[in-house]
Structure 1
């Protein structure tokens, strides 16, 4: 009997009934509840800020993926005890970014076979002895044992010739997306979705790679990133740098009316505008969607930030952005709308926000460290954008509460206006820009339009947003109103303090008339770093 035949046999299907439910939950909690398409629905999301294990030992890549999948499975269990319906792990959460330092057989030891979602296969049942399925089997079993949706990111080895295809226990078709390399495999940065039975129901190959030469970009239609849950909510997937582009997230939101997005990331902060919580909250609010983000924690390489952002519902956000946080699980309820009718298991839920860290009683320890992955006194690396081509006006230092006006314009007819009051003696600059921005150490070019107020150390624009130098005392800026006449409709707000915390969404309003948008506050903002709008002109990307 083949694996496929085994999986679809009456014997195996019978094992997915009562016996597959977690033993620590009474059967009465699993009475189905009706879900009606178009009606409001609540679910509980769990996102993990995680620093993966990355020590290369005698087991090589297997040791890394084995340890990370074990720890992630424990966090899946912990999320379920908090009532979570869906759990999200970060980009490179299984392999670690050690993947970028190895080649050949060592690189392949970090890769995994992933079944075609059309097979509706649960890797948990697989008894094949192969190191390249260990993590996907472990995490499939975690989803099954805890009856929870699990989204993980892993390196995928996709066979592209007959010989390597014969080694894939899932029997996927030969991958003809690219010319087949000498290894016989095409490697992808892949998000995998397991349903409550541990079945792979979606597989998304990251389209917009960021300095990832080991991988090829995904070529499948954007719909391959979409999946629907038994609680009636349809999600779209995206990975890290995808958030800067149309595909797949924006396209699926606008084409299919999707209101909920799952994102795995290994972020890189670029001040003053590309900062994890600011970008993620602004994208969520600008598109009117809920965004669940799980981030890789390594502040020394500018990697941190995870959260649940509710741009579709009440605008509240639960997030962590702290170099000292180590591994941290955020569990919180989300309001959405059902896209399909059906029946969902009724599970106990925690109201509000629950943040769990290895420091507390719910500690999950990573091998080799008595305190998980926490390292005290950690450095936080920041990169900076070149602002020299921005139009700008230095704002007057505040000595009274009298109102002031400023206006700056740039290319493509972009003009930004500002009305503000300020009692601050610090330096603030009002900026406008329309054109190409170069990111990723000169590799990637995106077309953007920006209207922004930015705090600067001095009147020199090269000192703007330099939070890695000594910060000044707290001050107050505003109230203010910023208006920009953009050329596009994809405009995202940004509002961050010098303490690198978000300003609550209910403390400022956003109004629009066509492509003209206005942001207003009614009270002063303390320790402002950056505020305004960041618009993306996707169609003009080089």
Structure 2
């Protein structure tokens, strides 16, 4: 018992969010409405002219951000050319050979002719220098294979989905190749994961791209082993409700892993095949500023002051042993009342009845506990559990506890997307018997006009006791603990 209590207290210390309140930095993310190239370029000059149309919007927004004293600015994934070019021979014209900043020192703005075919890199470097801010952008890299490379593609070169970073003087300081692709046959993945970060006076920033957030490498490893305090995340993230909305899932990583997270999505909210939108500045305590706008046809610039993240201790002491929320209250154990499909996963559910109660529900020896008080309502709510391999974004192994509004009063609608609610929860407390310390707490509220909202800082608490809604003033759409058991993803995966 003493060992378990000690582990809980240690993990609680890790989950605590420590900031120096007097210290903040100003960050900007630009959710760009991409002007998709058409027709696709058949040569480099044509590709460059098409990308420069989007670059012009970058420059305009960077100028605005610079005037407001922004320290670091982030642009979204594929925002120079869009995400439709999934043919290697087509996207090739939009790529540039990007040197390794670990091997060379280069300021593209000062030395624009040093490397051939570097026009985009020069523009980004000059943007950083002109506006006196760090710039992180996403672009394409093309690299010739080294002689005798056994992994070399048949064409003789690699193509990478790439983040680049420049400091306030325009110096090229970081390059990262995306590891975990999502329907991207036009790009290669590195043979080995890359752990890329850069240091500033206001934090250590790790570089990742979109789907990397779903996997252990390099996302979690940057936090655990490289003491990254802030994550920079360009995405082209489609809405996948309920648990994988852009603002919900990505902000939950910041809370669960004790990092600041600068998330720049792109805007394609009116495409029924994707619905790509939602960006923000997130901290371990909650959102600083975010946007979730499915209506506007224009790009959106978000600027906010982010508390400097003092992550102590440097490494998580809960690496090996699971984070303990304590044993679920088995006195309240209920047999699952029905099963329902949520994003191709079958959850065990029980109804959340009356205005208050306590319930425990299990699946495959994983149990979830809920205590709640809510307003009287005709809306159906359910409490669910999932323990297994999620395949839509994976295969990734998850353990999930979720309190959610059902789409209708038909139990089979539980797990479907919901955009509005009228029921208020004055209190809820969720915990589970997780076998991994890697857990992301997520709360989504109902906002005006069928808009999802995140709870403000101070309205919830996440610690070694679980997830507690303290003062959630808006109607609740769902609250969840999403656990990742990385070691069960596949035989080549690492981590807890």
Higher alpha-carbon deviation: 251-260 or 178-187: 178-187
Match of 2:275 in 1: 302
C-alpha separation in 2, matches of 1:227 and 1:473: 42
In the alignment, is residue 276 of structure 1 matched against residue 246 of structure 2?
yes
Secondary structure, aligned partner of 1:141: helix
Higher alpha-carbon deviation: 528-537 or 50-59: 50-59
Of the three residues 116, 124, 137, the one matched with 2:122 is 137
Note closer, same or farther for the CA distance 1:94–1:505 as it changes in structure 2 (3 Å cut).
Answer: same
C-alpha separation in 1, matches of 2:209 and 2:53: 22
1:441-479 per-position Cα deviation (integer Å, ceiling 9, x unaligned): xxx3110000011111234444235457xx666232342
C-alpha separation in 1, matches of 2:342 and 2:368: 24
Could you say which structure has the larger radius of gyration?
A: 1
Match of 1:212 in 2: 184
Match of 2:456 in 1: 504
Note closer, same or farther for the CA distance 1:197–1:81 as it changes in structure 2 (3 Å cut).
Answer: same
C-alpha separation in 1, matches of 2:71 and 2:149: 34
Pairwise CA RMSD of aligned residues? 2.6
In the alignment, is residue 486 of structure 1 matched against residue 457 of structure 2?
no
Match of 1:541 in 2: 489
In the alignment, is residue 317 of structure 1 matched against residue 288 of structure 2?
yes
Match of 1:146 in 2: 131
Unaligned runs of 5+ in 2: 1-19, 312-340, 491-496
Match of 1:449 in 2: 399
Contact 2:421/2:476 (<8 A) preserved: no
In the alignment, is residue 91 of structure 1 matched against residue 77 of structure 2?
yes
C-alpha separation in 2, matches of 1:39 and 1:480: 29
Of the three residues 116, 125, 137, the one matched with 2:100 is 116
C-alpha separation in 1, matches of 2:61 and 2:149: 35
Unaligned runs of 5+ in 1: 1-37, 161-173, 340-382
1:40-77 per-position Cα deviation (integer Å, ceiling 9, x unaligned): 74321111111111132476432322222232122222
Match of 2:369 in 1: 416
Secondary structure, aligned partner of 1:98: coil
Alpha-carbon distance, 1:232 to partner: 4.6
Of the three residues 224, 247, 267, the one matched with 1:254 is 224
Note closer, same or farther for the CA distance 1:64–1:220 as it changes in structure 2 (3 Å cut).
Answer: farther
C-alpha separation in 2, matches of 1:536 and 1:280: 14
1:411-436 per-position Cα deviation (integer Å, ceiling 9, x unaligned): 24333333333312101110011111
Alpha-carbon distance, 1:87 to partner: 0.8
Alpha-carbon distance, 1:85 to partner: 1.0
C-alpha separation in 1, matches of 2:150 and 2:473: 52
C-alpha separation in 1, matches of 2:432 and 2:120: 48
Contact 1:234/1:338 (<8 A) preserved: no
Contact 2:256/2:439 (<8 A) preserved: yes
C-alpha separation in 1, matches of 2:426 and 2:21: 40
Match of 2:378 in 1: 425
Matches within 5 A, 1:92-241: 92-100=78-86, 102-104=87-89, 106-118=90-102, 119-124=104-109, 125-127=111-113, 132-160=117-145, 174=146, 179-220=151-192, 222-223=194-195, 225-229=196-200, 231-241=201-211
C-alpha separation in 2, matches of 1:175 and 1:242: 29
Q: How many residues are treated as equivalent by the alignment?
A: 428
Note closer, same or farther for the CA distance 1:209–1:178 as it changes in structure 2 (3 Å cut).
Answer: farther
What TM-score do you get using the length of structure 2 for normalisation? 0.80
Note closer, same or farther for the CA distance 1:327–1:257 as it changes in structure 2 (3 Å cut).
Answer: same
Contact 1:423/1:477 (<8 A) preserved: no
